[in-house]
Chain A
Amino acid sequence: MERLINIDRRIIFVFVFLGVAIPLLVDIHLPIKPTPTVRSVYDEIERISIEDPDRPVLVSFSYGASTVPEMVPMTRAILRHLFSRGRKVVGICLWPEAVGIAQPIMDELAAEFGMKYGTDYAFLGYKPGQHAVVLNLGQSVAGTFPFDTAGTAIGDLPVLDGAKNLKDFSLVFDFAAGDSMEFWWIPFGQEKHRFPFAGGCTAVMAPDLYPFLQSKQLVGLLGGLAGAAEYETIIGVPGSATAGMEPQSVTHLIIILFILLGNTVYFITRRRGGTV
Chain B
Amino acid sequence: MLFLTRTLPFLFCFVFGVTSWIIYYVPHEYAQTIEREFALWLRLVFAFAYVLGLVSLLSLHWAKIRQRQAGWAYSLIVYISFGVMMLFVVYNDGNGPFAPQETTGPYQWTFINVHVASSATMFSLLAFFISSAAYRTFRARTPEAAILLVSAIIVMLGRVPIGAYISDVIPEAMQWLMSVPNMAAKRGILLGVSLGAIATSLRIIFGIERSYLGGGDD
Which residues does chain B contribute within 8 Å of A141, judged by CB atoms? none
Q: Which residues of B contact A62 (CB under 8 A)?
A: none
With A128-B46, A259-B135, A262-B136: A252-B182 Cβ-Cβ less than 8 Å = no
Closest Cβ neighbor of B179 among chain A residues: A210
Residues on A with C-beta less than 8 A from B134 are: 255, 258-259, 262
Q: B178 is contacted by which of A12, A99, A210, A266 (Cβ under 8 Å)?
A: A210
Asked if A139 meets B116 with Cβ closer than 8 Å, knowing A129-B43, A207-B182, A210-B186, the reply is no
Contact between B171 and A35 (Cβ–Cβ < 8 Å)?
yes
Interface size class of B (residues with CB under 8 A): 35 or more
* B interface, over-half SS: helix
B77 within 8 A of A: no
A261 to B47, CA, bound (A): 51
B42 an interface residue at 8 Å Cβ cutoff? Answer: yes
Is A155 part of the contact surface with B, judged by Cβ < 8 Å?
Answer: no
The smallest C-beta distance from A34 to any residue of chain B, in angstroms, reads: 10
Which residues from chain B contact A49 at a C-beta distance below 8 Å?
A: none
If A128-B43, A128-B47, A210-B179 touch, whether A254 touches B131 (CB-CB below 8 Å) is yes
Q: Does A100 contact B (CB under 8 A)?
A: yes
Task: Give the shortest distance, in Å, between A151 (CB) and chain B (any CB).
Answer: 5
Residues from chain B with a CB closer than 8 A to the CB of A266 are 139-141
Task: Looking at the assembled complex, report how far the CB atom of B11 sits from the nearest CB atom of chain A, in whole angstroms.
Answer: 22
Q: Is B119 an interface residue (CB 8 A)?
A: yes
Interface mask (B123-148 → A, CB under 8 Å = 1, otherwise 0): 11001101110111011110000000
CA distance A208 to B186 in the complex (A): 6
Interfacial residues of chain B within 94-120, with CB under 8 A of chain A in the complex: 99-101, 103, 108, 111-112, 115-116, 119-120
24 contacting pairs across A/B (C-beta < 8 A): A12-B131, A16-B128, A31-B165, A33-B171, A35-B171, A66-B123, A67-B120, A68-B116, A100-B112, A128-B46, A132-B42, A132-B43, A133-B43, A226-B160, A248-B160, A249-B165, A250-B162, A253-B162, A255-B131, A255-B135, A258-B131, A261-B135, A262-B134, A262-B135
Given A16-B127, A252-B159, A256-B153; 13 other pairs, CB 8 A cutoff: A15-B131, A30-B161, A32-B161, A33-B164, A67-B120, A69-B120, A129-B39, A129-B42, A136-B39, A149-B100, A252-B156, A252-B157, A255-B131
